[in-house]
Protein backbone atom coordinates (compact mmCIF):
# COMPACT_ATOMS: atom_id res chain seq x y z
CA UNK A 1 0.00 0.00 0.00
CA UNK A 2 1.29 3.42 -0.95
CA UNK A 3 1.18 5.63 2.09
CA UNK A 4 1.63 8.97 0.34
CA UNK A 5 -1.48 8.19 -1.64
CA UNK A 6 -3.18 7.27 1.58
CA UNK A 7 -2.11 10.51 3.21
CA UNK A 8 -3.40 12.60 0.33
CA UNK A 9 -6.64 10.69 0.42
CA UNK A 10 -7.12 11.29 4.11
CA UNK A 11 -6.35 14.95 3.50
CA UNK A 12 -9.15 15.17 1.02
CA UNK A 13 -11.50 13.35 3.36
CA UNK A 14 -10.94 15.89 6.11
CA UNK A 15 -11.97 19.04 4.26
CA UNK A 16 -14.92 21.05 5.49
CA UNK A 17 -16.99 20.31 2.42
CA UNK A 18 -16.64 16.58 2.90
CA UNK A 19 -17.68 16.98 6.53
CA UNK A 20 -20.82 18.75 5.41
CA UNK A 21 -21.56 16.32 2.59
CA UNK A 22 -21.01 13.18 4.66
CA UNK A 23 -22.68 14.64 7.72
CA UNK A 24 -25.70 15.63 5.65
CA UNK A 25 -25.87 12.11 4.22
CA UNK A 26 -25.67 10.47 7.63
CA UNK A 27 -28.30 12.79 9.06
CA UNK A 28 -30.71 12.34 6.16
CA UNK A 29 -30.22 8.56 6.22
CA UNK A 30 -30.75 8.44 9.95
CA UNK A 31 -34.05 10.29 9.67
CA UNK A 32 -35.26 8.16 6.77
CA UNK A 33 -34.17 4.96 8.48
CA UNK A 34 -36.25 5.71 11.55
CA UNK A 35 -39.42 5.64 9.42
CA UNK A 36 -40.63 2.05 9.03
CA UNK A 37 -40.92 1.09 5.39
CA UNK A 38 -38.28 3.38 4.01
CA UNK A 39 -35.23 1.27 3.43
CA UNK A 40 -31.67 1.88 2.29
CA UNK A 41 -32.50 1.59 -1.37
CA UNK A 42 -35.21 4.23 -1.02
CA UNK A 43 -32.82 6.55 0.76
CA UNK A 44 -30.23 6.15 -1.98
CA UNK A 45 -32.82 6.60 -4.71
CA UNK A 46 -33.94 9.81 -2.99
CA UNK A 47 -30.41 11.07 -2.83
CA UNK A 48 -29.07 10.22 -6.28
CA UNK A 49 -30.60 13.29 -8.00
CA UNK A 50 -29.09 15.48 -5.28
CA UNK A 51 -25.63 14.16 -6.07
CA UNK A 52 -25.74 15.54 -9.63
CA UNK A 53 -24.52 18.79 -8.16
CA UNK A 54 -21.71 17.39 -6.04
CA UNK A 55 -18.15 16.43 -6.84
CA UNK A 56 -17.71 12.67 -7.37
CA UNK A 57 -15.92 12.16 -4.08
CA UNK A 58 -18.51 14.08 -2.05
CA UNK A 59 -21.33 12.38 -3.91
CA UNK A 60 -20.13 8.87 -3.19
CA UNK A 61 -19.25 9.60 0.43
CA UNK A 62 -22.64 11.27 0.83
CA UNK A 63 -24.36 8.12 -0.43
CA UNK A 64 -22.27 5.78 1.72
CA UNK A 65 -22.92 8.01 4.74
CA UNK A 66 -26.59 7.85 3.82
CA UNK A 67 -26.72 4.06 3.81
CA UNK A 68 -24.89 3.88 7.12
CA UNK A 69 -27.28 6.40 8.62
CA UNK A 70 -30.26 4.40 7.36
CA UNK A 71 -29.00 1.17 8.87
CA UNK A 72 -28.46 2.80 12.26
CA UNK A 73 -31.76 4.67 12.04
CA UNK A 74 -33.82 1.59 11.32
CA UNK A 75 -32.44 0.08 14.54
CA UNK A 76 -33.95 3.01 16.46
CA UNK A 77 -37.51 2.23 15.42
CA UNK A 78 -36.85 -1.48 15.91
CA UNK A 79 -35.75 -0.89 19.50
CA UNK A 80 -38.29 1.73 20.51
CA UNK A 81 -41.40 0.74 18.58
CA UNK A 82 -40.76 -2.93 17.79
CA UNK A 83 -41.32 -1.77 14.21
CA UNK A 84 -38.04 -2.37 12.35
CA UNK A 85 -37.37 0.04 9.52
CA UNK A 86 -36.34 -2.85 7.29
CA UNK A 87 -36.09 -6.62 7.42
CA UNK A 88 -32.47 -6.68 8.52
CA UNK A 89 -33.29 -4.85 11.75
CA UNK A 90 -35.91 -7.41 12.76
CA UNK A 91 -33.25 -9.30 14.70
CA UNK A 92 -32.44 -6.11 16.60
CA UNK A 93 -36.05 -5.73 17.67
CA UNK A 94 -36.04 -9.22 19.22
CA UNK A 95 -33.95 -8.03 22.15
CA UNK A 96 -34.01 -4.27 21.69
CA UNK A 97 -37.73 -3.81 22.26
CA UNK A 98 -37.92 -5.90 25.45
CA UNK A 99 -34.90 -4.07 26.85
CA UNK A 100 -36.40 -0.68 26.02
CA UNK A 101 -39.70 -1.72 27.56
CA UNK A 102 -38.04 -2.84 30.75
CA UNK A 103 -37.17 0.81 31.31
CA UNK A 104 -33.78 0.90 29.64
CA UNK A 105 -34.42 2.46 26.23
CA UNK A 106 -31.24 4.49 26.38
CA UNK A 107 -29.06 1.49 27.12
CA UNK A 108 -30.67 -0.40 24.27
CA UNK A 109 -30.08 2.47 21.87
CA UNK A 110 -26.52 2.94 23.06
CA UNK A 111 -25.68 -0.73 22.58
CA UNK A 112 -27.28 -0.63 19.14
CA UNK A 113 -25.40 2.48 18.09
CA UNK A 114 -22.02 1.39 19.43
CA UNK A 115 -22.38 -2.04 17.84
CA UNK A 116 -23.35 -0.38 14.55
CA UNK A 117 -20.36 1.91 14.53
CA UNK A 118 -18.03 -0.83 15.73
CA UNK A 119 -19.13 -3.25 13.01
CA UNK A 120 -18.99 -0.48 10.48
CA UNK A 121 -15.47 0.74 11.17
CA UNK A 122 -13.98 -2.71 11.61
CA UNK A 123 -15.54 -3.97 8.40
CA UNK A 124 -14.28 -0.87 6.59
CA UNK A 125 -10.75 -1.55 7.84
CA UNK A 126 -11.06 -5.16 6.70
CA UNK A 127 -12.31 -3.89 3.33
CA UNK A 128 -9.30 -1.63 2.89
CA UNK A 129 -6.47 -3.82 4.05
CA UNK A 130 -7.52 -7.39 3.54
CA UNK A 131 -10.48 -7.85 1.35
CA UNK A 132 -9.84 -6.12 -1.92
CA UNK A 133 -6.65 -8.01 -2.68
CA UNK A 134 -8.46 -11.20 -1.77
CA UNK A 135 -11.79 -10.36 -3.35
CA UNK A 136 -11.33 -13.21 -5.79
CA UNK A 137 -11.93 -15.59 -2.91
CA UNK A 138 -15.60 -14.76 -3.34
CA UNK A 139 -15.48 -16.41 -6.76
CA UNK A 140 -14.71 -19.71 -5.05
CA UNK A 141 -18.26 -19.55 -3.79
CA UNK A 142 -20.14 -20.93 -6.75
CA UNK A 143 -23.70 -22.24 -6.86
CA UNK A 144 -22.84 -25.36 -4.80
CA UNK A 145 -21.36 -23.32 -1.98
CA UNK A 146 -24.11 -20.71 -2.07
CA UNK A 147 -26.83 -23.36 -2.01
CA UNK A 148 -25.14 -25.06 0.94
CA UNK A 149 -24.73 -21.79 2.84
CA UNK A 150 -28.32 -20.76 2.19
CA UNK A 151 -29.65 -24.16 3.25
CA UNK A 152 -27.59 -23.89 6.42
CA UNK A 153 -28.86 -20.37 7.09
CA UNK A 154 -32.45 -21.51 6.61
CA UNK A 155 -32.18 -24.49 8.97
CA UNK A 156 -30.08 -22.60 11.49
CA UNK A 157 -32.43 -19.65 11.66
CA UNK A 158 -35.51 -21.87 11.67
CA UNK A 159 -34.03 -23.62 14.70
CA UNK A 160 -33.73 -20.32 16.53
CA UNK A 161 -37.41 -19.60 16.64
CA UNK A 162 -38.24 -19.90 20.28
CA UNK A 163 -41.20 -21.97 21.33
CA UNK A 164 -42.78 -24.75 19.37
CA UNK A 165 -40.56 -26.16 16.67
CA UNK A 166 -43.47 -27.34 14.57
CA UNK A 167 -45.12 -23.96 14.61
CA UNK A 168 -41.81 -22.46 13.53
CA UNK A 169 -41.51 -24.94 10.69
CA UNK A 170 -45.10 -24.32 9.59
CA UNK A 171 -44.39 -20.59 9.50
CA UNK A 172 -41.22 -21.26 7.53
CA UNK A 173 -43.21 -23.42 5.12
CA UNK A 174 -45.61 -20.55 4.51
CA UNK A 175 -42.66 -18.24 3.85
CA UNK A 176 -41.21 -20.69 1.33
CA UNK A 177 -44.58 -21.19 -0.37
CA UNK A 178 -45.28 -17.47 -0.72
CA UNK A 179 -41.73 -16.81 -1.93
CA UNK A 180 -42.31 -19.04 -4.96
CA UNK A 181 -44.96 -16.69 -6.33
CA UNK A 182 -43.81 -14.92 -9.48
CA UNK A 183 -42.24 -15.71 -12.81
CA UNK A 184 -40.27 -18.93 -12.85
CA UNK A 185 -36.60 -18.01 -12.92
CA UNK A 186 -35.82 -20.33 -15.77
CA UNK A 187 -38.83 -20.60 -18.06
CA UNK A 188 -40.12 -17.10 -17.38
CA UNK A 189 -43.58 -18.64 -17.08
CA UNK A 190 -45.89 -17.39 -14.32
CA UNK A 191 -46.02 -19.51 -11.18
CA UNK A 192 -48.85 -19.12 -8.65
CA UNK A 193 -49.65 -15.65 -9.98
CA UNK A 194 -53.35 -16.43 -10.57
CA UNK A 195 -53.21 -14.31 -13.70
CA UNK A 196 -52.44 -11.14 -11.74
CA UNK A 197 -49.85 -9.06 -13.61
CA UNK A 198 -48.60 -7.40 -10.42
CA UNK A 199 -47.70 -10.78 -8.95
CA UNK A 200 -45.36 -11.64 -11.82
CA UNK A 201 -42.39 -10.18 -9.93
CA UNK A 202 -43.52 -11.96 -6.77
CA UNK A 203 -44.80 -10.39 -3.60
CA UNK A 204 -42.69 -7.26 -3.01
CA UNK A 205 -40.35 -8.03 -0.11
CA UNK A 206 -40.67 -4.56 1.35
CA UNK A 207 -44.46 -4.87 1.60
CA UNK A 208 -44.24 -8.33 3.14
CA UNK A 209 -41.58 -7.26 5.63
CA UNK A 210 -43.24 -4.02 6.70
CA UNK A 211 -46.67 -5.64 6.87
CA UNK A 212 -45.51 -8.59 8.97
CA UNK A 213 -43.08 -6.70 11.16
CA UNK A 214 -44.17 -3.11 11.58
CA UNK A 215 -47.84 -2.69 10.67
CA UNK A 216 -48.99 -5.86 12.44
CA UNK A 217 -47.12 -4.68 15.53
CA UNK A 218 -49.22 -1.52 15.55
CA UNK A 219 -52.36 -3.66 15.58
CA UNK A 220 -50.97 -5.79 18.40
CA UNK A 221 -50.22 -2.65 20.39
CA UNK A 222 -53.59 -1.05 19.72
CA UNK A 223 -55.24 -4.21 21.02
CA UNK A 224 -53.03 -4.13 24.10
CA UNK A 225 -54.21 -0.59 24.78
CA UNK A 226 -57.56 -1.95 25.82
CA UNK A 227 -56.03 -4.20 28.45
CA UNK A 228 -53.74 -1.54 29.78
CA UNK A 229 -56.15 1.33 29.97
CA UNK A 230 -57.26 1.94 33.51
CA UNK A 231 -55.34 -0.95 34.99
CA UNK A 232 -51.83 0.35 34.54
CA UNK A 233 -50.13 3.44 33.37
CA UNK A 234 -48.94 3.28 29.78
CA UNK A 235 -46.20 5.70 30.66
CA UNK A 236 -42.98 3.82 31.14
CA UNK A 237 -40.79 4.47 34.09
CA UNK A 238 -37.29 5.54 33.27
CA UNK A 239 -34.84 3.76 35.45
CA UNK A 240 -32.04 5.93 36.84
CA UNK A 241 -29.47 3.25 35.96
CA UNK A 242 -30.43 3.47 32.28
CA UNK A 243 -26.94 4.00 30.98
CA UNK A 244 -24.37 1.77 29.36
CA UNK A 245 -21.32 1.27 31.54
CA UNK A 246 -17.85 0.28 30.46
CA UNK A 247 -17.74 -3.21 32.10
CA UNK A 248 -20.98 -4.06 30.38
CA UNK A 249 -19.69 -2.76 27.06
CA UNK A 250 -16.51 -4.78 27.48
CA UNK A 251 -18.57 -7.93 27.91
CA UNK A 252 -20.25 -7.18 24.60
CA UNK A 253 -16.99 -6.86 22.67
CA UNK A 254 -16.58 -10.55 21.72
CA UNK A 255 -20.18 -10.61 20.50
CA UNK A 256 -19.60 -7.52 18.37
CA UNK A 257 -16.39 -9.00 16.98
CA UNK A 258 -18.19 -12.18 15.94
CA UNK A 259 -21.07 -10.15 14.54
CA UNK A 260 -18.67 -8.10 12.45
CA UNK A 261 -17.02 -11.27 11.20
CA UNK A 262 -20.32 -12.78 10.13
CA UNK A 263 -21.51 -9.53 8.60
CA UNK A 264 -18.28 -9.13 6.66
CA UNK A 265 -18.42 -12.68 5.31
CA UNK A 266 -22.09 -12.35 4.35
CA UNK A 267 -21.53 -8.97 2.73
CA UNK A 268 -18.55 -10.18 0.74
CA UNK A 269 -20.58 -12.97 -0.85
CA UNK A 270 -22.70 -11.44 -3.59
CA UNK A 271 -26.40 -11.93 -3.09
CA UNK A 272 -26.83 -12.85 0.57
CA UNK A 273 -27.85 -9.47 1.99
CA UNK A 274 -27.94 -7.97 5.48
CA UNK A 275 -30.95 -9.89 6.84
CA UNK A 276 -29.12 -13.19 6.58
CA UNK A 277 -26.14 -11.62 8.36
CA UNK A 278 -28.03 -10.09 11.26
CA UNK A 279 -30.11 -13.21 11.96
CA UNK A 280 -27.12 -15.56 11.69
CA UNK A 281 -25.17 -13.37 14.07
CA UNK A 282 -28.03 -13.18 16.55
CA UNK A 283 -28.43 -16.95 16.42
CA UNK A 284 -24.75 -17.62 16.91
CA UNK A 285 -24.60 -15.23 19.86
CA UNK A 286 -27.48 -17.09 21.43
CA UNK A 287 -25.93 -20.51 20.81
CA UNK A 288 -22.61 -19.45 22.32
CA UNK A 289 -24.10 -17.59 25.25
CA UNK A 290 -23.95 -19.03 28.74
CA UNK A 291 -27.44 -17.69 29.32
CA UNK A 292 -29.28 -18.38 26.04
CA UNK A 293 -32.63 -18.12 27.80
CA UNK A 294 -32.14 -14.35 28.16
CA UNK A 295 -32.19 -13.90 24.40
CA UNK A 296 -35.41 -12.52 23.06
CA UNK A 297 -36.14 -11.05 26.48
CA UNK A 298 -33.87 -8.04 26.37
CA UNK A 299 -30.30 -9.34 26.24
CA UNK A 300 -27.91 -6.55 25.22
CA UNK A 301 -25.80 -9.23 23.48
CA UNK A 302 -28.68 -9.83 21.10
CA UNK A 303 -28.76 -6.19 20.03
CA UNK A 304 -24.98 -6.04 19.74
CA UNK A 305 -24.83 -9.21 17.63
CA UNK A 306 -27.56 -8.16 15.23
CA UNK A 307 -26.50 -4.54 14.78
CA UNK A 308 -22.78 -5.18 14.37
CA UNK A 309 -23.49 -7.74 11.64
CA UNK A 310 -26.13 -5.59 9.95
CA UNK A 311 -23.75 -2.66 9.67
CA UNK A 312 -20.69 -4.68 8.79
CA UNK A 313 -22.54 -5.84 5.68
CA UNK A 314 -22.53 -2.32 4.18
CA UNK A 315 -18.78 -1.85 3.75
CA UNK A 316 -18.33 -5.57 3.15
CA UNK A 317 -20.76 -5.45 0.22
CA UNK A 318 -18.24 -3.11 -1.39
CA UNK A 319 -15.56 -5.84 -1.30
CA UNK A 320 -16.87 -7.65 -4.39
CA UNK A 321 -17.85 -4.26 -5.85
CA UNK A 322 -14.35 -2.78 -5.76
CA UNK A 323 -12.54 -6.08 -6.07
CA UNK A 324 -14.54 -7.66 -8.86
CA UNK A 325 -17.11 -5.12 -10.00
CA UNK A 326 -19.92 -7.34 -8.70
CA UNK A 327 -22.36 -5.60 -6.35
CA UNK A 328 -22.80 -7.50 -3.07
CA UNK A 329 -26.39 -6.40 -2.55
CA UNK A 330 -29.03 -3.96 -3.72
CA UNK A 331 -27.57 -0.85 -2.15
CA UNK A 332 -24.15 -1.66 -3.58
CA UNK A 333 -25.80 -2.04 -6.98
CA UNK A 334 -27.34 1.39 -6.51
CA UNK A 335 -23.89 2.79 -5.83
CA UNK A 336 -22.68 1.52 -9.22
CA UNK A 337 -25.32 3.72 -10.79
CA UNK A 338 -24.24 6.66 -8.69
CA UNK A 339 -20.62 6.12 -9.69
CA UNK A 340 -21.64 5.94 -13.33
CA UNK A 341 -23.42 9.27 -13.14
CA UNK A 342 -20.10 10.75 -12.13
CA UNK A 343 -18.29 9.02 -14.94
CA UNK A 344 -16.54 6.43 -12.79
CA UNK A 345 -16.61 2.76 -13.73
CA UNK A 346 -16.46 0.66 -10.62
CA UNK A 347 -14.36 -2.46 -10.58
CA UNK A 348 -10.90 -3.84 -10.07
CA UNK A 349 -9.47 -1.26 -12.44
CA UNK A 350 -10.38 1.58 -10.10
CA UNK A 351 -7.71 0.51 -7.62
CA UNK A 352 -5.11 0.47 -10.37
CA UNK A 353 -6.15 3.62 -12.21
CA UNK A 354 -7.26 5.95 -9.45
CA UNK A 355 -6.15 4.66 -6.05
CA UNK A 356 -6.26 8.11 -4.49
CA UNK A 357 -9.94 8.42 -5.27
CA UNK A 358 -10.63 4.98 -3.87
CA UNK A 359 -8.72 5.64 -0.65
CA UNK A 360 -10.40 8.98 -0.15
CA UNK A 361 -13.70 7.13 -0.33
CA UNK A 362 -12.48 4.70 2.31
CA UNK A 363 -11.38 7.61 4.50
CA UNK A 364 -14.80 9.16 3.91
CA UNK A 365 -16.46 5.93 5.02
CA UNK A 366 -14.61 5.93 8.33
CA UNK A 367 -15.42 9.60 8.76
CA UNK A 368 -19.07 8.75 8.11
CA UNK A 369 -18.98 6.18 10.90
CA UNK A 370 -17.57 8.69 13.33
CA UNK A 371 -20.13 11.31 12.37
CA UNK A 372 -22.79 8.65 12.79
CA UNK A 373 -21.49 7.99 16.29
CA UNK A 374 -21.80 11.66 17.22
CA UNK A 375 -25.19 12.22 15.61
CA UNK A 376 -26.52 8.97 17.00
CA UNK A 377 -25.18 9.60 20.50
CA UNK A 378 -26.94 12.93 20.78
CA UNK A 379 -29.89 11.79 18.73
CA UNK A 380 -30.67 8.88 21.02
CA UNK A 381 -31.23 11.19 23.97
CA UNK A 382 -33.97 12.72 21.90
CA UNK A 383 -35.24 9.42 20.51
CA UNK A 384 -35.28 7.73 23.90
CA UNK A 385 -38.04 10.18 24.77
CA UNK A 386 -40.22 8.39 22.22
CA UNK A 387 -40.91 5.75 24.85
CA UNK A 388 -42.44 8.50 26.93
CA UNK A 389 -44.89 9.18 24.12
CA UNK A 390 -47.88 6.98 24.87
CA UNK A 391 -48.53 4.20 22.33
CA UNK A 392 -51.90 5.57 21.28
CA UNK A 393 -50.06 8.55 19.80
CA UNK A 394 -47.34 6.48 18.19
CA UNK A 395 -49.71 4.01 16.52
CA UNK A 396 -51.51 6.36 14.06
CA UNK A 397 -48.27 8.03 13.02
CA UNK A 398 -46.45 4.75 12.37
CA UNK A 399 -49.43 3.37 10.44
CA UNK A 400 -49.33 6.50 8.29
CA UNK A 401 -45.63 6.04 7.60
CA UNK A 402 -46.11 2.36 6.72
CA UNK A 403 -48.68 3.37 4.10
CA UNK A 404 -46.59 6.21 2.75
CA UNK A 405 -43.51 3.98 2.53
CA UNK A 406 -45.37 1.72 0.10
CA UNK A 407 -46.77 4.58 -1.96
CA UNK A 408 -43.43 6.36 -2.21
CA UNK A 409 -41.96 3.25 -3.77
CA UNK A 410 -44.62 3.18 -6.45
CA UNK A 411 -46.33 -0.12 -5.63
CA UNK A 412 -49.66 1.69 -5.53
CA UNK A 413 -52.86 0.02 -4.39
CA UNK A 414 -51.40 -3.42 -5.01
CA UNK A 415 -48.62 -2.66 -2.52
CA UNK A 416 -51.12 -1.40 0.05
CA UNK A 417 -53.22 -4.54 -0.29
CA UNK A 418 -50.17 -6.78 0.13
CA UNK A 419 -49.11 -4.68 3.12
CA UNK A 420 -52.54 -5.03 4.69
CA UNK A 421 -52.76 -8.77 4.00
CA UNK A 422 -49.41 -9.39 5.64
CA UNK A 423 -50.30 -7.19 8.57
CA UNK A 424 -53.22 -9.58 9.16
CA UNK A 425 -51.01 -12.64 8.68
CA UNK A 426 -48.32 -11.18 10.94
CA UNK A 427 -50.89 -10.31 13.59
CA UNK A 428 -52.31 -13.82 13.59
CA UNK A 429 -48.84 -15.34 13.74
CA UNK A 430 -47.94 -13.22 16.76
CA UNK A 431 -51.27 -14.01 18.36
CA UNK A 432 -50.98 -17.77 17.91
CA UNK A 433 -47.26 -18.06 18.57
CA UNK A 434 -46.03 -18.86 15.06
CA UNK A 435 -42.54 -17.47 14.54
CA UNK A 436 -42.84 -14.55 12.16
CA UNK A 437 -39.04 -14.38 12.12
CA UNK A 438 -38.80 -17.84 10.59
CA UNK A 439 -41.47 -16.83 8.13
CA UNK A 440 -39.71 -13.71 6.93
CA UNK A 441 -36.28 -15.35 6.78
CA UNK A 442 -37.69 -18.25 4.76
CA UNK A 443 -39.36 -15.74 2.45
CA UNK A 444 -36.07 -13.90 1.88
CA UNK A 445 -33.85 -16.96 1.48
CA UNK A 446 -36.04 -19.21 -0.67
CA UNK A 447 -35.64 -17.50 -4.07
CA UNK A 448 -31.85 -17.47 -3.73
CA UNK A 449 -31.76 -21.03 -2.45
CA UNK A 450 -33.98 -22.37 -5.21
CA UNK A 451 -31.94 -20.62 -7.89
CA UNK A 452 -28.62 -21.88 -6.56
CA UNK A 453 -29.96 -25.39 -6.08
CA UNK A 454 -31.21 -25.42 -9.66
CA UNK A 455 -27.89 -24.17 -10.93
CA UNK A 456 -26.04 -26.82 -8.93
CA UNK A 457 -28.28 -29.62 -10.14
CA UNK A 458 -27.94 -28.64 -13.79
CA UNK A 459 -24.22 -27.91 -13.54
CA UNK A 460 -23.46 -31.23 -11.90
CA UNK A 461 -25.56 -33.02 -14.50
CA UNK A 462 -26.87 -35.21 -11.70
CA UNK A 463 -23.38 -36.38 -10.76
CA UNK A 464 -23.05 -35.77 -7.02
CA UNK A 465 -19.37 -36.69 -6.90
CA UNK A 466 -18.74 -33.13 -8.12
CA UNK A 467 -19.23 -32.14 -4.49
CA UNK A 468 -16.06 -33.98 -3.46
CA UNK A 469 -14.06 -31.25 -5.18
CA UNK A 470 -15.95 -28.53 -3.29
CA UNK A 471 -14.71 -28.58 0.32
CA UNK A 472 -16.48 -25.34 1.28
CA UNK A 473 -19.81 -26.72 0.14
CA UNK A 474 -19.16 -29.98 1.98
CA UNK A 475 -18.45 -28.13 5.23
CA UNK A 476 -21.73 -26.24 5.00
CA UNK A 477 -23.67 -29.36 4.03
CA UNK A 478 -22.23 -31.03 7.13
CA UNK A 479 -23.23 -28.01 9.23
CA UNK A 480 -26.74 -28.16 7.80
CA UNK A 481 -27.03 -31.84 8.67
CA UNK A 482 -25.76 -31.21 12.20
CA UNK A 483 -28.25 -28.38 12.62
CA UNK A 484 -31.03 -30.67 11.38
CA UNK A 485 -29.96 -33.41 13.81
CA UNK A 486 -29.91 -30.94 16.69
CA UNK A 487 -33.40 -29.81 15.72
CA UNK A 488 -34.63 -33.38 15.54
CA UNK A 489 -33.03 -34.19 18.90
CA UNK A 490 -34.66 -31.17 20.50
CA UNK A 491 -37.99 -32.24 19.08
CA UNK A 492 -37.73 -35.83 20.29
CA UNK A 493 -36.62 -34.71 23.72
CA UNK A 494 -39.48 -32.25 23.80
CA UNK A 495 -41.92 -34.98 22.79
CA UNK A 496 -40.93 -37.55 25.43
CA UNK A 497 -40.37 -34.92 28.09
CA UNK A 498 -43.08 -32.75 29.51
CA UNK A 499 -45.60 -31.54 26.97
CA UNK A 500 -44.12 -28.51 25.21
CA UNK A 501 -45.43 -25.18 26.27
CA UNK A 502 -47.48 -23.50 23.60
CA UNK A 503 -45.10 -20.70 22.86
Partner 1 sequence: MPRQNFWSGLVVSAFALLALTWIIPEYAGSNPLAQMPPELVPNIAAWVMLVCGAIVAVGGLVGLVRAGESPLTFAIDWRGVAWAAWPFAYVAVAVWLLTMVKLTWLGVPLIALLLVLLGERRWWLVAVCSTVPVAALYVLSVYLMRVGVV
Partner 2 sequence: MKPILKPFAAALSIAALVAASSAPADDWPNRPLTMVIGFAAGGSTDIQGRVLANVMEDYLGQPVNVVNQPGAGSAVAYTRLANNRDQGRTFLYGGITALTFTPIITRVGYEIDDFEFLATLAVGQNSIVAASGQPFSTFEELVEYGRDNRLTYAQQTALDEAIMRRIAAAEGMNVAIIPTGGGGGMAPLVLGGEVDFAYSGGTHAQYTDGGEMIVMAFMGPERSPFYPEVPTLIELGYDLVMEDYRVIAVPAGIPDRARERLVAAAEQASRSERFRRVTEDNTNFPVVFYDQEETEAAIRRIRAANEAVLGD
Q: Which residues bind partner 1 (CB under 8 A)?
A: 42, 45-46, 49-50, 164, 166-167, 169-170, 172-174, 176-177, 180, 184, 186-187, 189-194, 215, 218-219, 222-223, 225-226, 229, 392-393, 395-397, 399-401, 403-404, 407-408, 410, 413, 416-417, 420, 423-424, 427-428, 432-434, 446, 450, 453-454, 457-458, 462, 499-503
CB count in 10 Å sphere of residue 46: 15
62 lies in the site for partner 2, by CB under 8 A: yes
The answer to the question of residue 187 lying near partner 2 (CB under 8 A) is: yes
The sign of the dihedral angle between the CA atoms of 359, 276, 41, 67 is negative
Which lies closer to partner 1 via its Cβ, residue 374 or residue 428?
428
Residues in 22-51 that interact with partner 2 by CB under 8 A: 24, 41-42, 44-45, 48-51
Tell me the closest approach of the beta carbon of residue 189 to partner 1, in angstroms. Answer: 5
* Rounded CA separation 268/490 (Å): 33
DSSP string, 261-290: HHHHHHHHSTT--HHHHHHHHHHHHHHH-S
**Site track 353-392 with partner 2 (rule: CB under 8 A), x = hit:** ----------------------------------------
Residues 350, 106: Cα–Cα separation, whole Å: 42
420: partner contacted, choices partner 1, partner 2, none (Cβ within 5-8 A by kind): partner 1
End-to-end CA distance of the chain: 55
DSSP code of residue 212:
I
Q: Among 14, 129, 133, 185, indicate the residue that binds partner 2 (CB under 8 A).
A: 185
Q: Which residue, 142 or 348, is less far from partner 1 as judged by CB?
A: 142
C-beta of 49 vs 502, nearer to partner 2: 49
* Site residues (CB under 8 A) for partner 2, limited to 89-108: none
Nearer to partner 1, 385 or 404 (CB): 404
CB of 151 to partner 1, least distance (A): 12
* Nearer Cβ to partner 2 (44/158): 44
| Inter-residue contact 119 to 309 (CB < 8 Å) | yes
What's the CA gap between 434 and 437, in Å, rounded? 9
Q: Does 52 bind partner 2 (CB under 8 A)?
A: yes
Q: Per CB under 8 A, which of residues 251..280 are in contact with partner 2?
A: 270-271
Q: Concatenated DSSP letters for 161-198?
A: --S-HHHHHHHHHHHHHHHT-EE-TTT--EES-TT-GG
Q: Which of residues 332-351 bind partner 2 (CB under 8 A)?
A: 333-334, 336-338, 340-341, 343, 345-349
Give the count of residues interacting with partner 2 (CB under 8 A).
71
How far is C-alpha 486 from the geometric centre of its chain's CA atoms? 26
53 binds partner 2 (CB under 8 A): yes
Please, are residues 295 and 94 in contact by the beta-carbon 8 Å criterion?
Answer: yes
Binding range to partner 2, per CB under 8 A, among 161-169, 184-192, 218-226, 418-426: 184-192
Query: To the nearest whole angstrom, how small is the minimum distance from the Cβ of residue 351 to partner 2?
Result: 11
To the nearest whole angstrom, how small is the minimum distance from the Cβ of residue 400 to partner 1?
A: 5
Side-chain-side CA neighbours of residue 354 (13 Å) = 14
Which of 362/422 has CB closer to partner 1?
A: 422
Q: Decide: 18 and 55 in contact? Cβ < 8 Å.
A: no
DSSP letter, residue 291: -
Stretch touching partner 2 by CB under 8 A, among 29-37, 69-77, 195-203, 298-306 = 195-203
102 binds, among partner 1, partner 2, none (CB under 5 to 8 A by kind): none
Mapped onto helix, strand or coil, the DSSP state of residue 346 is coil
Residue 405 engages partner 2 in binding (rule: CB under 8 A): no
**Contact of 88 with 276, CB cutoff 8 Å:** no
Greatest extent of the chain over all pairs of C-alpha atoms, in Å:
69
Q: From 135-143, 253-261, 397-405, 418-426, give the range in contact with partner 2 by CB under 8 A.
A: 135-143
The least distance separating partner 2 from the CB of residue 90, rounded to whole angstroms, comes to 21
- Interaction between residue 203 and partner 2 (CB under 8 A): no
Q: C-alpha dihedral over 187, 188, 191, 193, to 10 degrees?
A: -170
Q: Which is nearer to partner 1, 180 or 289 (CB)?
A: 180
Return the range that interacts with partner 2 (CB under 8 A); candidates 197-205, 213-221, 257-265, 307-315.
197-205
Give the phi and the psi of residue 328 in degrees, each rounded to 5: -75, -25
What's CA 214's distance to the chain center, in Å?
15
Q: Which long-range contacts (CB under 8 A, 24 or more apart) does 412-416 make?
A: 414/198, 415/204, 415/207
Amino acid sequence: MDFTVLGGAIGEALTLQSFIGIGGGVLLGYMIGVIPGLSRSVAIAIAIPMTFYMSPYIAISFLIGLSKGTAAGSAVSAILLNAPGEASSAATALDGYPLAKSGKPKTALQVGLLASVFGDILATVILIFVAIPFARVALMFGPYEMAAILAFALVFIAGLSGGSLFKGLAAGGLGVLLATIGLDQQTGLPRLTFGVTELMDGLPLIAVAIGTLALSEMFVQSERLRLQRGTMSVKLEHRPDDRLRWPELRRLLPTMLRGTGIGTAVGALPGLGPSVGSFMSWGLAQKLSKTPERFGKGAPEGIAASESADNAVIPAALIPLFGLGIPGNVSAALLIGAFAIHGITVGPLLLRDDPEFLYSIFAGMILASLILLVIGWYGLRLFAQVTRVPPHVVIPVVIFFCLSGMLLQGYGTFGLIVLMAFAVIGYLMKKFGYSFVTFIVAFIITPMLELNLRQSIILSGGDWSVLLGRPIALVFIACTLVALLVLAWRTVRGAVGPAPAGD
